[in-house]
Amino acid sequence: MERLQVLMRLCSALAIATLVALSTPVLAQSEPASATFEQLVNEVAQGSLSKRVDTVAAIAALKHERSADILQALQDGNLKVTRDDSERVVIETADNQILDAQTSEPITGTDLGRLKRIPIHNKLRSQLHTLLAQLNLSHPNDEVRLSAVTRLITDGGDEQTATLLNELKSDEQNSRVREAMDTAIALYQLESENATERLAAVKQLRGSLIPEVRGPLQERADYDSDKDVRIEAQRALDSIEGRLKMFRLGENVFFGLSLGSVFLLSAIGLAITFGVMGVINMAHGELMMIGAYTTWVIQQVFPNQIEYSLFMAIPAAFVVAGLVGIAIERGVIQFLYGRPLETLLATFGISLILQQAARSIFSPLNRAVSLPEWMSGSLQINPAFSITFNRLYILLFGLMVFFALLAILKKTSLGLKVRAVSQNRPMARAVGVRASWVDALTFGLGSGIAGIAGVALSQLTNVGPNLGQAYIIDSFMVVVFGGVGNLWGTLVGAMGLGIVNKFLEPYAGAVLAKVLILVLLILFIQKKPKGLFPQKGRAAAD
């Protein structure tokens, strides 16, 4: 009996040892290894929708640099899989470009055939919305976090998102992101059943300029069950409207100044020639056209230097237009001094010749000048007010040209002679100033500045043979309004007419606004024939 018991114990021990030995590899194999990002991306296209929920959560948990891109593509329906045996996961962009989902590298030279979209359901879509918010709201880049909160404001949030924003808000250092978070939380609280929370949310949104705020506030002001909430919502809307009016005013002033800077550039050269020489130059617009075409030619000659093309075009346009101006003065104008009506007819004929020359050389079609990247886009001050970079730079450029020209006339020998001839031509000749030489250089200087104005205009409109005709009348109005030959008068006149024009356009339209400005200018000249800043000197009254 004892031997039998010992034998049974040995068999039991052997059986247990065998069982352990056999089960250990199985357990080792069943131990889940940490899945890599590449493996999880491939698993998104496999299995059921319920399994896809777990896979998406695992991708977000990795916080890989491409996790947000994968989830965003899945949410937008752009995450797809090839139908071949490889079942490769790809992203199809809006411009039909195919990217490898794991590396974001473009896939070219491969026939992938028809792609199959990876489907999602409402539960997964909600999960993706939350996971994307969590990923982007924790991003180290301020702009990415701000964009994530802005998207939450646009798409709307849920309780889980609002809770997440409340948790992250206390650690947020950027004031713009924190303010956007407050707005998103308040928009969610507007739907609360508690009137106290809705009232607090309305007060939080008071004065907000985000467009998505006004609709929910208007709904609260019209239909909320609580009277205090309705009153406060209306006050918040009135506050927002007041701020919007203020920024619309600022926007009109900016666009008026930018238009005035164009007037300034186009009129400042005319102010010199008209004021010094008494020549009514109807070809001034065509000199601007020459500067614009010079910009286009430079971009054609240096197609890979678009970012620096304007820096090359400014001196080139000044030289080309200046030489054309000197040729006009030496060839025609010098024989017509003292006969302003004949100079008007002669320069009008020259303008027609230059227009036809442009049609013959460059064709009648308009030419588009590429905008450098540093002039593209806009400076976003707030959701209701932005400043376009191209108009801002042109405004600054116009002021730089004005002060540079002012320095030339005040600080150089040429400027002294120009002022002497403009104030008293006979006396300037009597003291040895070569008036004919001064006339040629002055006309060339004014023409060169017109060429620079053409460079600026090429960034706002297409270049064509009739480019200058749109600005010649405005240039003369600026010169007459400011005072013939007075640069400060030209500056004030250009900016003033630009601002008035922009404030009249919304009410009268673009064409009628110009007509009204012309009528007002005629009435002004009846009272002050010499303009705002009349020319001084013994010959000023002649």
pLDDT of residue 315: 93
- CA dihedral of 366, 371, 377, 381, whole degrees rounded to 10: -100
Is 348 or 69 the better-scoring residue by pLDDT? 348
Rounded to an integer, the average pLDDT of 311-331 is: 92
What is the pLDDT, as a whole number, of residue 157? 65
List of residues 6+ apart from 407 with CB closer than 8 A? none
pLDDT at position 339 = 81
3-state secondary structure 162-190: HHHHHHHHCCCCCHHHHHHHHHHHHHHHC
Distances in whole angstroms, Cα of residue 90 to Cα of each of 47, 50, 77, 84, 187: 17, 21, 11, 13, 36
- Per mean pLDDT, which range of 66-80, 234-248, 385-399 is the poorest? 66-80
In contact, 514 and 476? CB cutoff 8 Å: no
pLDDT classification of 31: cutoffs 50, 70, 90:
very low
pLDDT of residue 19: 39
31-68 CB burial, b ≥16 within 10 A, e <16: eeeeeebeebbbbbbeeeeeebbebbebbbeeebebbb
Most confident among 395-404, 412-421, 432-441 (mean pLDDT): 395-404
pLDDT digits (tens, 9 = 90+) for 108-151: 766 666 788 888 877 777 778 777 777 777 777 888 788 888 87
Span 353-371, pLDDT tens digits: 999 999 999 888 888 888 8
pLDDT reading at 1 higher than 60: no
Mean of pLDDT values over 254-267: 89
Taking all residues of the chain, what is their mean pLDDT, rounded to a whole number? 81
Question: Would the pLDDT of 532 be above 80?
Answer: no
Q: What pLDDT digit, counting tens, does each position of 445-485 carry?
A: 889 999 999 999 888 888 999 888 888 888 888 888 887 76
Q: Enumerate long-range contacts of 417-423, CB under 8 Å, 24 or more apart.
A: 418/272, 418/276, 418/442, 421/276, 422/275, 422/276, 422/485, 422/535, 422/537, 423/535, 423/536, 423/537, 423/538, 423/539, 423/540
Say if residue 249 is exposed, middle or buried (CB neighbours under 10 Å; 0-12, 13-18, 19+). exposed
Do the Cβ atoms of 474 and 263 come closer than 8 Å? yes
**CB contact set of 332 (below 8 Å; sequence gap of 6+):** 346, 347, 350
Q: What is the mean pLDDT of residues 213-222?
A: 87
User: pLDDT digits over 174-201, tens only?
Assistant: 888 888 888 888 888 888 888 888 888 8
First vs last Cα of the chain: how many Å apart?
Answer: 147
Predicted confidence at residue 303, as pLDDT, reads 86
Confidence check: pLDDT of 507 > 60: yes
Distance, in Å, from the CA atom of 64 to the CA atom of 83, rounded to the nearest integer, reads 27
Are the CB atoms for 287 and 445 separated by under 8 Å?
no
pLDDT of residue 467: 87
Q: What is the pLDDT of residue 268?
A: 87
